[in-house]
Amino acid sequence: MVIKNVNLETVCGITSTLPENQHPEVAFSGKSNVGKSSLINGLMNRKAYARVSQQPGKTQTINYYNVNDEIYIVDLPGYGFANVSQAVKAKWGKMIDLRKSRQLRMVFLLVDIRHEPSANDKHMYSWIIENGFYPAIIATKLDKIKRSQVQKQLKLIREGLNVAEGTPIVPYSAVTKQGRDE
């Protein structure tokens, strides 16, 4: 897809109602420091459209990016390391009820390729499945490991999440853009 136009169209907070969009939506979920915003910027060919921060948990809203008036990229709040209270994290869980969106077609779960999936990653994977979706897995931070380690780390992710047969796991680097086309 050639990206001609991107607009941050809707921002939903804890008390917001999810929009009734007319176009298909694809959502991106992952730990607070996994690189969701960097991936989204890479996919949209923008340098800093989605906010990137060194501080985990910067995205505390659901952000809907309208791409070419054809599809929405949905940036979900990160989980795990966010520096917010447990009460706020619980409200995020209610806010991100995937079943509420009629247009949601695909969910991508981002995990850090350098590490075995965390308990939060496993919980999120199960939660996505329970909501009726079969996520594609994006293994971020590919540039931070040696090429010889890639297959070993992908196997660790596949086994750690106990992913369904045929689930794609795509290694991705925000620095080199390797994996962007996939």
Cβ atoms 130, 162 nearer than 8 A: no
Which tops the pLDDT comparison, 1 or 131? 131
pTM for this entry: 0.87
**pLDDT per residue over 75-129, tens digit each?**
988 876 545 555 544 544 555 566 678 899 999 999 999 999 999 899 889 988 9
- Alpha-carbon separation of residue 50 from 47, 112, 135, 168 (angstroms): 8, 19, 21, 24
Sole residue written with tokens 């459209």: 49
In the chain, % of residues over pLDDT 70: 82
Residues of 74-92 as b/e, b for ≥16 C-beta within 10 angstroms?
bbbbbbbebeeeeeeeebb
* Amino acid present at 14: I
